[in-house]
Amino acid sequence: MSTEVKERLISENVNNPNGENIPGEKCQEGKKNFFVTFHNVIKDIVDDIKYGCERDPAARNYLEFVLLYPGFHAIILHRIAHLLWIHDFLFTARIISFFSRFWTGCDIHPGAVIGKRFFIDHGMGVVIGETTYIGDDVTLYQGVTLGGTSTKKGKRHPTVYDGVVVGAGAIVLGPLNIGTGSRIGAGSVVIKDVIPHSTVVGIPGKVVRQRGVKVEKVLDHACLPDPYGNSHKIYEYKIEKLEKEVEMLKNLLIQNQVLCNEEVIKSEECINIVAKLPTEETPLDTD
């Protein structure tokens, strides 16, 4: 599929939210000649092989990648199913899609539009909805869901632009846009648009890196910042600081004879501070 056709599909997907299966019915250029479209599919599959071997260091050669990678099998079967889908062989396309789900563990609707050099690593539990658009050089890891949030016809699945990496177990819901070169952290749930060259982590997904800085290590999706962990460290520091200040105030009150030590102990017992402290574990007998 040419770049011009893909760009037109993106604009039509966005500007026609009430259409029915826009990616499939709008590929009029591909419908002109089945064999020309089939030739393009073969070229895309060859590009998928080269791209997959480049991105996965575990792939030792092309033969191993072609025969033993279920993610690649899912891509081949989808490209064939999508070819039939855009030429109105809808039932046959769904049969191939169903077989692909049984064989590879990836559920990809034949109406989904997928660009060149697409790679699914490990290929298990991936779900891609009907009106999904995926650009070039996109990588998905196991357990990724590109799902919809509406029961109405029309554009209801994500648009993933070029160079995006979606980490394992991530979920992207609704007709939102994932900008070029962005990274979705493993286990994240994305429900809002993501601007280009951003890093998103958490539930719900939060952008933690942006400003148009391009990510160099496209496969380093596990090396991501942890905003919640940083927040916990800040709270722990503040609590520790407050505890020290309270202890200093108690010592000053005792030293200035405003309170006696017995009164401080009684007040602590009254508010159950002592009772709430964790008990020390009994040492295990290792003899």
For 98-146, the pLDDT digits (tens) are 999 989 889 999 999 998 889 888 878 899 988 899 988 899 998 999 9
Mean pLDDT in residue range 24-52: 69
Residue 282 lies in a domain: no
Average pLDDT over residues 205-216: 65
Please check whether residue 118 lies inside any domain of the structure.
yes
Q: Which domain holds residue 47?
A: 28-212
Residues 141-160 have a mean pLDDT of 88
In a domain, 12, yes or no: no
Residue 227 has pLDDT above 70, yes or no: no
Q: Is residue 165 part of a domain?
A: yes
At 133 the pLDDT is 92
Residue 58 tokens read as: 């575990």
Where is pLDDT greater, at 25 or 10? 10
In a domain, 110, yes or no: yes
Query: What percent of the chain has pLDDT above 70?
Result: 74
Angstrom distances, CA of residue 50 to CA of 96, 118, 184: 24, 10, 24
The pLDDT of residue 279 is: 57
Count other C-beta atoms under 10 Å from residue 244's C-beta.
10
CATH number at residue 165: 2.160.10.10
Mean pLDDT (the chain) is: 77
Long-range CB pairs of 49-53 (<8 Å, 24+ gap) are 50/117, 51/116, 51/117, 51/118, 51/119, 51/137, 52/119
Let me know if residue 190 belongs to a domain.
yes
Question: Cα–Cα distance between 102 and 97 in angstroms, integer?
Answer: 9
The total domain count for the chain is 1
In-domain check, residue 11: no
Measured CA to CA, the distance from residue 201 to residue 183 in angstroms comes to 9
Q: How confident is the model at residue 19 (pLDDT cuts 50, 70, 90)?
A: very low
| Residue 32: pLDDT over 60 | no
Range scoring the smallest mean pLDDT among 23-27, 35-39, 138-142: 23-27
pLDDT above 90 covers a percentage of the chain that reads 15
19-48 average pLDDT score: 62
Cα separation of 127 and 121, whole Å? 13
Q: Average pLDDT of 200-204?
A: 84
Task: Summarize the confidence of residues 202-207 as an average pLDDT.
Answer: 82
Please report the pLDDT score of residue 198 as a whole number.
86
